[in-house]
Amino acid sequence: MDEELLDRYADLIVGFGANVQPDQVVAVEASVEAAPLVRKLARRAYERGARYVDIVYFDPQVKRIRIESAPDDSLEWVPPWLGRRMLDLGELDAARIVLTPFVPPGLLEGLDAVRAGRDQLPTVRELFKVLDDRSVAWTVSPFPTEAWASRVFPELGPAQAVDALWRDLEHVCRLDEPDPVDAWKQRIDEIWQNASRLDELDLDALRFVGPGTDLTVGLLPSSRFAKEGGGATTRTGIHHVPNLPTEELFTTPDPDRTEGVVTSTKPLDVGGSLVTGLRVRFDRGRAVEIDADSNVETLRRRCATDEGAARLGEVALVDGESRIGRLGRTFFNTLLDENSASHIALGDAYSSPIADPADLPRINESEIHVDFMIGSDEVTVSGVTHDGGEVPVLVGGAWQI
């Protein structure tokens, strides 16, 4: 492993992504394989004065073993201490660093989809309360595990695949820039400028038109893109960057006003099961038909979790300048793939993009949040104004605003 690259990466994640503060408690959650980077993160966090760094190593192989072997009626059981830890992190106004993926793409292949859908760990429902409270300064970044890299580069041996994925990650995380933090500040400012221009249009809806797609996503009166353009701020005023890399601008839509059909432009990994060829029809905000070429049952079960699980909690636009999109690769990983193309998410909504508290009771609530990619150079995005007119927003990946 390239120690110097790990050091630069840890600097970026701790110093800019999570923006760790003196006396702050810092949670780090990662796959066992990510230990070399986790140790660098711990050292950087302590050097910045962290009170305590709480490492949780997740073992995806034990998740697979559970789904294979545990008694049927036990699979939904969640130990109470996992949820309370998450709430405690909120009460402590902690930082939280996640290295993705916990579960490599395809890990759950060959398993019973119904059983797989019952075990939603390591996600705990308390996470969504903490996100809504904006108490935790969180950041998610990728770490190339062998199983993941072998999926992205099936033609290479495991070690070569990991090397190739590191090279991609170094580029898309802008670690190949002389000053990665400065490079990110510039890119995030660009995203914010575009988001502000979009907000000025005061749109009523976004419309996506392309092969297999004609979807209109209604917005709430105070849905804003620029409030969260690339960065975020906790309730105590700590700036953090939830996703590194980040290339998207997003908002919270009206959960009752999505209409039409949409075809996913990338395969989607749902907790270890790969959903390909996904097609969804929405009626008055609800996903009423869900079809796919593989693993459709996993997603259908996920969408039956609760009332909000079949409605939208997010709509996001990604332009053609995205370093991830320009690589033209499918990473089988939501963090990277969602920052390569415009996307929507089923399930829980963020409250932060909503400008008027009067709109907050209307945003979507759920125990799930599943992003899927619907954008490409062939998909045109336009804005629907309150008088019913349409203005071009993204054509061939280029901003029209």
Contact set with a second copy (CB under 8 A): 22-23, 25, 32, 35, 38-39, 42-43, 46-47, 49-55, 57, 59, 61-62, 65-66, 68-71, 74, 77, 79-81, 84-85, 88
The kind and range of the H/E element at 302 are helix 296-303
User: Which lies closer to a second copy via its Cβ, residue 4 or residue 23?
Assistant: 23
- Nearest distance, CB of residue 78 and a second copy, angstroms: 8
- Nearest distance, CB of residue 25 and a second copy, angstroms: 7
- Nearest distance, CB of residue 271 and a second copy, angstroms: 17
**CA angle 73–79–80, rounded 5-degree value:** 125
User: Which lies closer to a second copy via its Cβ, residue 49 or residue 396?
Assistant: 49
User: Which lies closer to a second copy via its Cβ, residue 80 or residue 178?
Assistant: 80
Which tokens sit at 351? 């409250």
- Nearest distance, CB of residue 84 and a second copy, angstroms: 6
Which tokens sit at 320? 């053609």
User: Which lies closer to a second copy via its Cβ, residue 22 or residue 110?
Assistant: 22
Helices 80-91 and 126-133: crossing angle, nearest 10°? 10
Please give the C-alpha separations between residue 76 and each of 273, 347, 386, in angstroms, as whole numbers: 18, 19, 44
The answer to whether the beta carbons of residues 150 and 137 sit under 8 Å apart is no
Which residues are registered as beta bridge partners of 372?
A: 344
- Nearest distance, CB of residue 237 and a second copy, angstroms: 22
- Nearest distance, CB of residue 193 and a second copy, angstroms: 39
- Nearest distance, CB of residue 146 and a second copy, angstroms: 13
User: Which lies closer to a second copy via its Cβ, residue 58 or residue 192?
Assistant: 58
How far is residue 338's CA from residue 217's CA, in Å, rounded to a whole number? Answer: 17
Count other Cβ atoms within 10 Å, centred on residue 2: 12
User: Which lies closer to a second copy via its Cβ, residue 49 or residue 389?
Assistant: 49
The answer to whether the beta carbons of residues 145 and 101 sit under 8 Å apart is yes
User: Which lies closer to a second copy via its Cβ, residue 52 or residue 133?
Assistant: 52
How far is residue 104's CA from residue 281's CA, in Å, rounded to a whole number? Answer: 28
C-alpha closest to that of 326 among 373, 264, 376, 371: 376
How far is residue 171's CA from residue 323's CA, in Å, rounded to a whole number? Answer: 8
Which tokens sit at 145? 């595990």
User: Which lies closer to a second copy via its Cβ, residue 69 or residue 357?
Assistant: 69
- Nearest distance, CB of residue 73 and a second copy, angstroms: 9
- Nearest distance, CB of residue 376 and a second copy, angstroms: 39
Question: How far does Cα 149 stand from its chain's mean position?
Answer: 19
Q: Which residues contact 201 (CB under 8 A, 6 or more apart)?
A: 383, 385, 391, 401
Residue with the two structure tokens 């193309």: 341
User: Which lies closer to a second copy via its Cβ, residue 85 or residue 281?
Assistant: 85
